[in-house]
Amino acid sequence: MNWPDLNVDAFQSVDAATWLELVKKELKGKDAAWLAEAGVKLSPFIHRDDNVTSKKLPPKSLLTSGNDWLITQEYQNNADLLEGLASGVGKVVVDYKSESHLRNILEGVYLNMLDLSVRCHWENRIQVAQTVASLAGLAHVADIQLSLNHDPISDAFDADDVNAALSALSSLPANSRDVKAILPKTRIVNVEACRLFEAGASHALEVAYALAAGRRYLDAFIKNGWSVDDATPLIQFSLAADTDYFVSIAKFRSFRLAWAALIEGYGAEFDCSVITWINGVTSTRVYDNNELYNNLLRSTISTMSSVIGGADAVLTSTYNQANDADALRWARNIQHLLCDESGLDKVYDPGFGIGYIEQATQEVLDQVYAFLNEWTNTGELISTDGFNWLRNQLNINQQRLVQAANSGAATLVGINKFLLSDSDKVLVADKSSGLAAMKLANKEAVS
């Protein structure tokens, strides 16, 4: 039979209910759906009768039809930074320790050719901007893409100090104008929601926090006289991705959709205002310090989910959580493989129209709004009650993660299953300093 002669109408159409009965029969009555995380239930069975709505993401940029992203890395010295730039890095993250330190680490760098992120205390912002402008030269000042990793709300939540957040929100907008006067394209605030995820938050809780914090920063700027169109470019977000592949993809997509809807609600004049900058950061909360090469696989999966979800820049955490030359090169090459060999940069929003991913995106989005509604009902988000609600939700999910990992309900390769050695590891929430962090510990030491 020739394919052109095949009569597809001869095949009987099967409705969703019939398919579902067959699936249940194979599963011996068990529910085909699975609980990806609290409040997010996914079914591996998607039928056209389910009418899963396809939602196209707002473009990351009005200048590209593909899925370009910047390879991001952190550097502690000039030699590694220059090697990284020569090897395809497009965004670099450095710490500000002093003016001379910043000048040394950026020596020989064409600052108009990359995206620069500087971690600094807020009181050093002017010095950072002036130093970067001086290094770039007057002719390139208007082209410099600088971001200040400043997030007083996350800092305040970490320190459990609501007053610090409120104080920063009242002073931040006016004090941002002096930075913008020096470098017009500076992103002032970086909502590091990934910190909450590293501490044990679910994907949906992380997105809810990112939206809530982002909106508070936006409101602060607007209250101080900035228009919504001028304020949105001042804010960027950092979201975590982990080996929960499809839910991580859904998280990035759901956040971009939710943020766009939020900005549209403010009555933005320009279409580009719904676009925000998202940094993808691969999570290390279940990195194994014994079988390090397993972490390479984890970081690869996490990087893929960031890229497919639509991150603008991706920082692939090194497999050994160090910044030595070999680890940095391996982290870079993971992204080169995804871009240059796999071609993931060629297709805009590759998850669009795929029933399972669209369903996951909507499920995460529904849980995000459920969290926000519950959080709002406690009162003001940035308040003692608001912080207490968030910390309680964080503790609930920490306990869920710990129980799933340590009972074997969740598989962690090389940690609780498929072990190379006899030394068992358990997942714990380490609350020894500031915001708790998920980490692995020797079972004997904990018990």
Place of tokens 């002096």: 178
The pLDDT of residue 348: 84
Verify that 75 and 46 share a domain, yes or no: no
Bridge partner residues of 282 (DSSP): 241
Q: Do residues 220 and 337 touch, judged by C-beta distance below 8 A?
A: no
The pLDDT of residue 114: 95
Verify that 262 and 123 share a domain, yes or no: yes
Verify that 136 and 245 share a domain, yes or no: yes
Task: State both tokens at 353.
Answer: 């129209």
Verify that 179 and 37 share a domain, yes or no: no
The pLDDT of residue 388: 96
Residue 53 carries which side chain, given as an amino acid letter?
Answer: T
How many whole angstroms separate alpha carbon 71 and alpha carbon 87?
A: 10
∠ CA 416-421-424, rounded to 5°: 40
Within-domain flag for 137: yes
Within-domain flag for 433: no
Residue 46's closest CA among 354, 326, 392?
354
How many whole angstroms separate alpha carbon 78 and alpha carbon 120?
A: 18
Within-domain flag for 274: yes
Verify that 147 and 190 share a domain, yes or no: yes
∠ CA 301-307-313, rounded to 5°: 115
Residue 146's closest CA among 186, 173, 101, 104?
186
Verify that 217 and 294 share a domain, yes or no: yes
CATH assignment at residue 326: 3.20.20.240
Query: Number of folded domains in the chain?
Result: 2
Verify that 108 and 221 share a domain, yes or no: yes
Within-domain flag for 405: no
Verify that 90 and 227 share a domain, yes or no: yes
Range of the domain at 293: 70-362
The pLDDT of residue 63: 59
How many whole angstroms separate alpha carbon 219 and alpha carbon 246?
A: 32
**Strand 425-430 to 313-315 pairing:** unpaired
Within-domain flag for 60: no
Question: Looking at 362, 385, 406, which one is the last position of a domain?
Answer: 362
Across the chain, which has 447 residues, the per-10-residue mean pLDDT values are 65 81 81 83 81 79 77 96 97 97 97 96 95 93 94 95 95 93 96 96 97 97 96 97 95 96 94 94 89 93 96 96 92 96 88 90 96 93 94 94 87 82 68 61 61
Within-domain flag for 59: no
Q: What is the DSSP letter of 337?
A: I
Within-domain flag for 386: no
Within-domain flag for 8: no
∠ CA 19-23-28, rounded to 5°: 145
The pLDDT of residue 422: 58
The pLDDT of residue 432: 59
Verify that 337 and 243 share a domain, yes or no: yes
The pLDDT of residue 35: 82
For 188, list phi and psi in degrees, rounded to 5: -80, -45
The pLDDT of residue 434: 55
Sign of torsion, CA 253 259 262 263? Answer: negative
Verify that 33 and 159 share a domain, yes or no: no
Question: Looking at 326, 347, 362, which one is the last position of a domain?
Answer: 362
pTM above 0.95, yes or no: no
Verify that 198 and 286 share a domain, yes or no: yes
Question: Looking at 328, 362, 396, which one is the last position of a domain?
Answer: 362
Verify that 301 and 153 share a domain, yes or no: yes
How many whole angstroms separate alpha carbon 235 and alpha carbon 188?
A: 6
The pLDDT of residue 28: 82
Sign of torsion, CA 436 192 242 298? Answer: negative
Task: State both tokens at 77.
Answer: 């010295």
Q: Do residues 218 and 406 touch, judged by C-beta distance below 8 A?
A: no
Residue 280's closest CA among 248, 241, 334?
241
